[in-house]
Amino acid sequence: MTELRITGQTRLADLVSAYPGLKEKLPEVNPKFSMINSPIGAVMLKKVTIADMSQRSGMDQAELIEKLGAVIERIA
């Protein structure tokens, strides 16, 4: 499996592609991410970066990266 280094510029689409199952687990990271599983979320998925997710959710970027990493470890 390809291991990606997660930064603010990492695209969510790249993470979801590299780690199948991550998309469904995003609401565990922050409930605001549940919209990513909707039709509009599919469009956003291709464009959004980790920095965008941090800003839109109000989560600190470092905390978001840490939580995403923990979820990825569980599903990888």
CA distance 18 to 20: 6
Look up the pTM and report it: 0.89
* Ramachandran category for residue 61: left, alpha or beta (phi over 0 → left; psi -120 to 50 → alpha): alpha
Q: Are 57 and 64 in contact (CB under 8 A)?
A: yes
14-73: per-residue pLDDT in tens? 999 999 899 999 999 999 999 998 999 888 888 999 999 999 999 999 999 999 999 999
